Amino acid sequence: MNKASQMAGMIAEADRYSRIVEEFPPQDRILSRILERQTNRYRERVLLKCGDVQWTYNETFAIAGQWAQRLSEAGVAGGDRVAIICGNRPEFLQIYLGCAWLGAVAVPINSAFRGAQLAHVLSNSLPKLLVVEAVHRPILKSLPEGTALPSLVWNIEDDGVHDASGQTLNTGAEKSAAPASQVRPGDTVAILYTSGTTGPSKGVCCPQAQLFWWGIYSARGLGIQEGDVLLTTLPLFHTNALNAFYQAMLNGCTYVLEPKFSASAYWRALRANKATVAYLLGAMAAILLARPQSPDDRSHDVRVALGGGVPDRFHAAFLERFGVPLVDGYASTETNFVFASPIPSDHPGSMGYLIPGAEACIVDADDTPVPDGEPGELLLRPIEPFSFATGYFNMHDKTVEAWRNLWFHTGDRVIRERDGHYRFIDRVKDAIRRRGENVSSWEVERVLTEHPSVAACAVFAVPSEFGEDEVAAAIQARPDQFLDPVEVIRFCEGRLAYFAVPRYLRFLSEMPLTENGKIKKVALREAGITADMWDREAAGYKLRR
């Protein structure tokens, strides 16, 4: 395709997304109005495929109203929180749709959360109802003694959702449906908890209109077309998989939800579902490339894949082997899909370019803008109302801190290059990104210091062979105490999400300290993977999940 044809195609795509936006005036950028309008258009087209379950647009519309009615009958009202601990199953979306229709607030919880971290989410969000999948019920036993659970608890079994008495709450054609509540675009539809960076997990308040704009901006970045089949293996408790549902709904597509990422089954699932758009983050592309080559590597219909966080060295190899270009981009739960690359990327491994609909600024420690080519913290703010999150739930101090000076402070060190593309450098604060998950060094350190033989510790990132980071911990034992690395890892299991359990342990007689007595993490990070580090994977230790 020559440059003129490519430009014409880009203009046509931009016009198409502009038309979609025009079809939804601001007051209609809520789930119930989106679903109503799209159902009138697509009716018997399949919207959701999840295992053996399929929902048409008509059926999805009915399901939303029916589950809103079930929630209402249980005593859930507008503004009430409904916590969900569930894998990628249709029941997750049933509860979410019912909440959004009713005006209640869905609180998806990472199923890997344990102990104090899970207790914090529950005590912070104060849910009226907890919906938990049977396979995840044992994690409730990890809660500290005295942790209060909601008075209402529903269970997801093999045959669907059950209330506390065991009665099945599944819906059908004969079930009544609640009328759509008069929610507003700025009303919170979901609270999504980050894994934290320097403190307890924060609940990001996502308004109804933010999910609408996720569906517009992400689809535009990926070049999604009407009739596409979008397949994701990412978990629904993260914004990526949740907003992909809106991408499908707003663009007349089919959304295919797989239980989890499996490198051995990934391309088979794409072929079986005739998927045209896929979603990969960070290490996933590297893991797929590490598998043996197959004659079927290009036997699929995938036209494009999200490649956020995929290192630049993997882009060309992925395109050559699988025939799929990776789209660079940048997004956060608090913001939106605000940076995207061309397809294929002209600067592989970068963040791409700022999209229409957002403003960005790179600043120093005093919020003073820095010139192009110099690193600083990335600040963002929306142009469209309620296209970003509105703050952190029940954490007013953290909201003021992050949204100070009328900009959202991302905590990311970024460079804006002179040609307008942006490049991620690292986190301003001490964050660790492992296999698509944010790991709070603060939370890992808190668990380690609970060990009776640990005097001090510091958790930091070291490079991973798959891109992103691995979790390392430097530990100083108490006087006359010996620390066995396997025993330390076992201590962490059950107290931390599996992805937060350190891979590397380094035992030191003294911690490097700054002039004011704080542990000098920068020295530990710069040392990287040292010869005296114990490597859990090299030792053959298998984590329990």
Examine the pLDDT at 266 and tell me if it is beyond 80: yes
**What crossing angle do the helices spanning 283-290 and 312-322 adopt, rounded to 10°?**
50
Written as six digits, the tokens of 287 are: 């893991």
Q: For residue range 141-167, list pLDDT tens digits in order.
A: 999 998 989 999 999 999 999 998 889
What would the mean pLDDT of 317-341 be, rounded to a whole number?
A: 96
**Count of residues for the chain?**
545
Q: Which residue would you say has higher pLDDT here, 347 or 465? A: 347
The 3-state DSSP class for residue 193 equals strand
CATH 3.40.640.10, domain 433-535, yes or no: no
Domains of the chain, by residue range, sit at: 1-42+207-429, 49-183, 433-535
What would the mean pLDDT of 269-276 be, rounded to a whole number?
A: 98
Q: Categorize the per-residue pLDDT at 171 as very low, low, confident or very high, splitting at 50, 70 and 90.
A: low
433-535 matches 49-183 in CATH topology:
no
Bridge partners (DSSP) of residue 460 are 472
Q: Which fold has domain 49-183?
A: Rossmann fold (3.40.50)
> CA–CA separation, 100 vs 31, rounded Å?
6
Q: What is the sign, positive or negative, of the torsion defined by CA atoms of 194, 408, 243, 437?
A: negative
Residues 6+ positions from 393 with CB-CB distance below 8 Å: 124, 125, 188, 191, 202, 203, 204, 205
Q: Which residue has the tokens 């009303």?
A: 187
Nearest alpha-carbon partner for 199 in 520, 429, 516: 429
> CA–CA separation, 160 vs 499, rounded Å?
29
pLDDT in the model for residue 361: 97
Give the side-chain half-sphere CA count within 13 A for 199: 5
**What crossing angle do the helices spanning 90-102 and 57-73 adopt, rounded to 10°?**
70
| Cα end-to-end distance, the chain, whole Å | 48
pTM: 0.84
pLDDT in the model for residue 8: 47
Nearest alpha-carbon partner for 5 in 13, 507, 124: 13
Q: Categorize the per-residue pLDDT at 442 as very low, low, confident or very high, splitting at 50, 70 and 90.
A: confident
φ, ψ dihedrals at 142, nearest 5°? -80, -10
What would the mean pLDDT of 299-310 be, rounded to a whole number?
A: 93
> CA–CA separation, 353 vs 356, rounded Å?
10
**CA 135 to the chain's CA centroid:** 21
Q: Give the count of beta carbons closer than 10 Å to the beta carbon of residue 199.
A: 14
Q: For residue range 71-82, list pLDDT tens digits in order.
A: 999 999 999 999
Q: For residue range 26-46, list pLDDT tens digits in order.
A: 999 999 999 999 999 999 999
> CA–CA separation, 260 vs 237, rounded Å?
12
Nearest alpha-carbon partner for 124 in 62, 81, 160: 81
Nearest alpha-carbon partner for 489 in 431, 438, 530, 448: 448
Q: Which residue would you say has higher pLDDT here, 466 or 114? A: 114
> CA–CA separation, 402 vs 392, rounded Å?
9
Residues 6+ positions from 6 with CB-CB distance below 8 Å: none
Burial (CB count within 10 angstroms: exposed 0-12, middle 13-18, buried 19+), residue 163: middle
Examine the pLDDT at 440 and tell me if it is beyond 90: no
Q: What average pLDDT does the structure give for the chain?
A: 91
Written as six digits, the tokens of 397 are: 């101090």
Domain covering 1-42+207-429: architecture: 3-Layer(aba) Sandwich (3.40)
Q: For residue range 480-507, list pLDDT tens digits in order.
A: 889 999 999 999 998 998 999 999 999 9
φ, ψ dihedrals at 174, nearest 5°? -85, -10
Nearest alpha-carbon partner for 372 in 428, 417, 313: 417
Nearest alpha-carbon partner for 50 in 218, 287, 230, 240: 230
> CA–CA separation, 477 vs 309, rounded Å?
36
What would the mean pLDDT of 327-353 be, rounded to a whole number?
A: 94
